[in-house]
Amino acid sequence: MHFRNTPGYKTMRIDIITVLPEMLESPLNCSIVQRAKNKGLCEIEVHNLRDYTTNRYRKVDDYPFGGDAGMVIQIEPVDRCISALKAQRNYDEVIFTAPDGEVFNQKMANSMSMLDNIIILCGHYKGIDYRIREHLITKEISIGDYVLTGGEMPAAIITDAIVRLLPGAIGDEQSALTDSFQDNLLEPPIYTRPAEYKGWRVPDILLSGHEAKINAWRHEQALERTRRLRPDLLSD
């Protein structure tokens, strides 16, 4: 298995295409994502779709054929942007953030964290010309069964979920391996000091120092919480 912090392994590259690049400035420039960029584990570039239109007013949308309501992102600026990026490097996936796409989960994040280069196209307005989805997109991802103003938030969420898995992004790499959903179980309860507060005590087992019993307790608690809160995960 290759790791990104070993000599000769490529830095992961994420290119995000959007009509609202300012929406991505904060989430992509702080915390773990910023740390990963500073360490050279990943490169994240945000591209303004308006830079790729030939329209004198920098418009990238138009009315839909057939008289439906709303505005639709045109195929030409999207194709020009993706083509310009592909001229520089090969991409493993060209992703479109869509409410009707495959629902994003931890298993998908794990798999995508092993890719080298990806493009994420943020949807906006009523949607995008369907020919983009037919001919330019390789994967469509949803973050849930609801509709947002645009795909910028989903793009930030997908990026964060992927980047935090890159070796070296998190100080304690074991922490990511025990997150909820990594083994189709929710995370067990966690506690810290003080051991007692207002009469509310930390479970005695966690103070025992008996590693095997603590691990067994954590597994039992993870199963109990998953059965109670997300029984659908156990069916998987």
Query: How many Cβ atoms sit within 10 Å of the Cβ of residue 139?
Result: 15
Strands 127-128 and 117-122: unpaired
pTM over 0.85? The answer is yes
What is the pLDDT averaged over residues 211-226? 95
Q: Are residues 189 and 96 in the same domain?
A: no
pLDDT, tens digit (0-9, with 9 covering 90-100), for 42-71: 999 999 999 999 999 999 999 999 988 899
Residue scoring higher pLDDT (181 or 92): 92
Q: What pLDDT was estimated at residue 126?
A: 87
The answer as to whether 200 is a domain residue is: yes
Statement: residue 3 has pLDDT above 50? no
Both 191 and 129 in one domain: the answer is: no
Range of 38's domain? 12-163
Residue 181: the pLDDT is 64
Judgement on whether residues 60 and 128 belong to the same structural domain of the protein: yes
Number of neighbours of residue 61 by Cβ within 10 angstroms: 21
What CATH number does residue 99 fall under?
3.40.1280.10
Residue 103 domain flag: yes
Do both 193 and 156 map to the same domain? no
Q: Are residues 100 and 197 in the same domain?
A: no
- Same-domain check for residues 28 and 136: yes
Does 186 map to a domain? yes
Q: Write the DSSP assignment of 160-224 as a string of letters.
A: HHHHTTSTTSSSSHHHHHTSTTTTSSPPPP---S-SEETTEEPPGGGGS--HHHHHHHHHHHHHH
What DSSP character marks residue 68?
-
Identify whether residues 108 and 224 lie together within a single domain: no
Quick one: tokens of 215? 């691990």
Picking from 163, 190, 223, the residue at the C-terminal end of a domain is 163
Q: 137 in a domain, yes or no?
A: yes
Higher pLDDT, 171 or 214: 214
Residues 207, 115 share a domain: no
Residues 195 and 98 reside in one and the same domain: no
